[in-house]
Amino acid sequence: MKTARLSRKRMAAPLVAIALALSFTAIASAYSANYVQNVTWGAGSKDQSAYVSSLNGTAISFNNPNGGLPQMGARYVDYYNTGVTSYVWSNTGYLLDDRNYAGSSKSECAANSGNGYVVYVYYCYTNN
Amino acid sequence: MLRFQHRWKVVFAITAIGAAASAGFISNGHASPQPPPGLTAGVASLTALPVQANIPTGVSRFINSAAAATGTDAAAAHANVRLLRTNLGSSSRSVYAFRNANGSPCFLLTGVAGTCARTPAGGTPGLHWTLGGGTDETPSSLVGIASDDVSAVDLFVDGRPVLVTRANNVVYAEFPRTAKEAHVVIHRSGGVDNSFHVRLQG
């Protein structure tokens, strides 16, 4: 009886390991983040998401607390922060960068260096 | 007494001149009116064109995201989507649009970018826009929704004029993704123009 219980445990151990490995793989491949949240940015400020594969767009929500029409933009950058797509810009308060990037990259959102007013960023969001 | 009255007349005259100047009535002897804010002059195509029954998945994703960002019911947004332009540029892209809860147009250039202001009075007077968005395979673009009183939109990229097409309130133009500066001039039928500038490389 004891032997049977032991052998069941021995059989279960690799299965648990496989299940854990699979769940970690799923966590590693599924990425979703508000990588910027509730910050006030001056001209030229920017930040990036984690470096992951197959990013599927960037959404930015922002406001102009001191008036003016500050511009926000999004692009994908490589590991060394070099742009792999061009920025797309807007000044309305909401922007969706609808482009995908098949390889590994980071999503970057930025306040344009020409902005004359600060911008309040509610969020920069990306996922894959 | 006479001297006192004269002093008050001078003070009054200076105050009146200052007030008139600050109101913009003294430049070249003409008033300097401001253009109507945002898209408050109206966007007729969002009423005139038919509602789309079949909405592509990518457009639906934009609607959900834009609706959440602007406090709009996503189902209501899906029910009033219009297809404003098709076959745009080298990648034959389309522009879909809907009005958010505050009546401001939200629009998407498929596969590139979408935007909307929280209210129609937000954004650049006469034109809500996105600029840039090029990749290794596709050029950058200007896409925007112009209000009904916009008579023309001029685009200058790195100092050179770029052809802008306009139909159903949508303006569209393409330019190289390596461009550095864009300058846009919006002409209104009332004769009041405005412009903006974008540093495309950030």
**pLDDT tens track for A18-41:** 554 444 444 457 999 999 999 999
| Nearest C-alpha in A relative to B200 | A87
- Chain A residues whose CB is inside 8 A of the B117 CB are 92-94
Residues A90-110 pLDDT 10s = 999 999 999 999 999 999 999
CA torsion, ordered B48, B49, B50, B55, to nearest 10 deg: -140
Do B202 and A46 lie within an 8 Å CB cutoff? yes
Give, for A95, the enclosing helix (H) or strand (E): strand A94-97
Which residues on chain B are in Cβ contact (under 8 Å) with A113? 199, 202
The pLDDT of residue B50 is 98
Which residue in the set B117, B133, B197 is minimally distant from A92, CB to CB?
B117
Nearest to A96 by CA among A126, A64, A68, A67: A126
Which pLDDT band, with edges at 50, 70 and 90, does A63 fall under?
Answer: very high
A94 contacts in chain B (CB < 8 Å)? 66, 69-70, 106, 115-118
Residue-wise burial string across B64-84, b where 16 or more C-beta atoms lie within 10 A, e elsewhere? ebbbebbebeeeebbeebbbb
Beta carbons of A87 and B201 less than 8 Å apart: yes
What per-residue confidence (pLDDT) applies to B22? 40
- Distance from first CA to last CA of chain B, Å, rounded? 65
Distance in Å, alpha carbon of B194 to nearest chain A alpha carbon: 13
* pLDDT value of position B17: 41
Question: How far is residue B202's CA from residue B191's CA, in Å, rounded to a whole number?
Answer: 32
Mean pLDDT over the full length of chain A: 87
Residue B190 is predicted with a pLDDT of 83
d(CA A70, CA A93): 9
B85 touches B172 (CB < 8 A): yes
Residues in chain A within 8 Å Cβ distance of B70: 94
Residues (pLDDT < 70) of chain B are 1-32
